[in-house]
């Protein structure tokens, strides 16, 4: 029996070759792509202008890997967390974050994660699979619908900061971004998309080689190899020197400013000595720094840095002419904040 393929993982050229081999005209490719991406179709029978024979062939040869919505939770601060279900029954989470100036979709790239960062709830889950391009795009589509439904406005920004490490699902993530930014599909500006990575040097270099136009954020959290390796195992194979070199290469290729994300943990990485090390590391490329509040994940290993230390840390960096923002947590009461995504429903 012929095993069905995921049609949304085929490129336009691959689909064109397939149709030609089966005796269907190539102009059908554009129609099928329009149904899949512009009309967001979930079944072939709705593609009424393709003709009965082609619809039947598509049903026999392919499937559409649409996400479903398993649950939705709304925070006191109006953040919305969604649990999305895959065809196999896996659940991933995405978050809609409304502010006065932005409507941001935070989306996932994998089911679970393999990196096991100590401060992250997702890191306690097993990695089950990479999300397909269609499953990544679907999160944006579904969160856009929620933004229109609840706040009567569309998305302004997309961040790949949910479950998983995007650079370990490189091809699918870049394919999804190409679909989202294609003027004939969703037409989102790449400058409104940010990919956040825990730091995989060779893949950061590959982003440079591919001359991507979206934004890059590095989850740093310590500018000291010993401390960073303690909380992020990935640092043992991708230390700060290798990351610095990779980021410089990325910037040379793309001319894109990098964002450093730095969660402040009480009495761990919140001293002025830590700030001095961060300031020194941040000189490797043009950058901005986001200081992030720690969000508890229930194991008691870390605590949020005290407010006065956060302000002193920020001031120290600003006095050295660095661009610094303090990011306040959103959606904490529904486990939707940074580092809390773990398919937990309250």
Q: What residue ranges define each of the domains in the chain, with the CATH number in brackets?
A: 5-63 (1.10.150.530), 68-334 (3.20.20.70)
Higher pLDDT, 339 or 119: 119
Residue 11 pLDDT > 90: no
Element (H, E) at 230: helix 225-231
Checking if the pLDDT of 1 tops 80, the result is: no
Q: What is the per-residue pLDDT across 133-179, written as a single tens digit (0 to 9) for each? A: 999 999 999 999 999 999 999 999 999 999 999 999 999 999 999 99
pLDDT band at 342 (very low <50, low <70, confident <90, very high): low
Beta-bridged to residue 262, according to DSSP, are 291
Spatial CA neighbour of 134 closest among 124, 126, 142: 142
Residue-wise DSSP of 102-134: -EEEE--SEES-SS--TT-SGGGSPP-EEPPHH
Taking only Cα atoms into account, the Rg of the chain, rounded to an integer number of angstroms, comes to 21
Residues 104-127: tens digit of each pLDDT: 999 999 999 999 888 888 878 889
pLDDT tens-digit map of 250-304: 999 999 999 999 999 999 999 999 999 999 999 999 999 999 998 877 666 889 9
| List 82, 117, 284, 338, catalytic entry | 338
User: In the numeric block, which tokens belong to residue 284?
Assistant: 């490797």
pLDDT per position as a tens digit, 194-244: 999 999 999 999 999 999 999 999 999 999 999 999 999 999 999 999 999
What pLDDT, on a 0 to 100 scale, did the predictor assign at position 332?
Answer: 73
pLDDT for the residue 200:
98
Angstrom distance (rounded) from CA 55 to CA 280: 60
- So what's the pLDDT on residue 337? 53
Respond yes or no: is residue 135 known to be catalytic.
no
- Indicate which residue of 82, 93, 117, 135 is catalytic: 93
Identify the pLDDT of residue 339: 60
Q: Any catalytic annotation for residue 93? A: yes
pLDDT on residue 124? 82
What integer is the mean pLDDT of 316-337? Answer: 84
Mean pLDDT of 83-96: 95
Read off the pLDDT band of 330 (50, 70, 90).
Answer: confident
* Angstrom distance (rounded) from CA 166 to CA 174: 9
């Amino acid at each position: 029996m012929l095993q069905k393929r995921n049609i949304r993982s085929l490129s336009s050229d691959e689909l064109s070759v397939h149709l030609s081999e089966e005796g269907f005209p190539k102009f059908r490719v554009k129609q099928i792509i329009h149904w899949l991406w512009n009309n967001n179709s979930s079944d072939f029978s709705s593609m009424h202008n393709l003709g009965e024979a082609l619809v039947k062939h598509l049903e026999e040869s392919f499937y559409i890997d649409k996400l479903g919505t398993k649950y939705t939770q709304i925070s006191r601060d109006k953040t919305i967390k969604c649990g999305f279900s895959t065809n196999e029954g896996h659940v991933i989470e995405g978050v809609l974050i409304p502010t006065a100036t932005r409507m941001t979709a935070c989306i996932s790239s994998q089911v679970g994660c393999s990196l096991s960062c100590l401060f992250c709830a997702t890191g306690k889950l097993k990695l089950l699979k990479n999300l397909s391009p269609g499953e990544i795009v679907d999160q944006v589509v579904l969160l856009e619908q929620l933004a229109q439904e609840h706040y009567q406005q569309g998305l302004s920004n997309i961040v790949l900061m949910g479950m998983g490490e995007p650079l370990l699902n490189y091809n699918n993530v870049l394919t999804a971004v190409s679909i989202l930014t294609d003027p004939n599909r969703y037409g989102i500006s790449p400058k409104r998309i940010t990919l956040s990575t825990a730091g995989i040097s060779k893949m950061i270099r590959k982003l440079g080689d591919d001359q991507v136009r979206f934004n890059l954020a590095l989850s740093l959290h310590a500018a000291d190899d010993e401390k960073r390796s303690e909380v992020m195992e990935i640092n043992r194979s991708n230390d700060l020197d290798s990351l610095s070199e990779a980021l410089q290469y990325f910037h040379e290729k793309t001319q894109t400013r990098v964002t450093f994300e730095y969660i402040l943990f009480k009495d761990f990485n919140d001293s002025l000595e830590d700030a001095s090390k961060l300031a020194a590391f941040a000189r490797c490329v043009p950058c901005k720094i986001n200081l992030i509040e720690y969000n508890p994940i229930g194991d008691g290993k870390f605590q949020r840095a005290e407010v006065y230390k956060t302000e002193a840390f920020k001031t120290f960096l600003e006095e050295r002419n660095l661009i610094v923002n303090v990011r306040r947590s959103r959606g904490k009461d529904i486990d939707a904040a940074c580092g809390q995504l773990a398919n937990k429903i309250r």
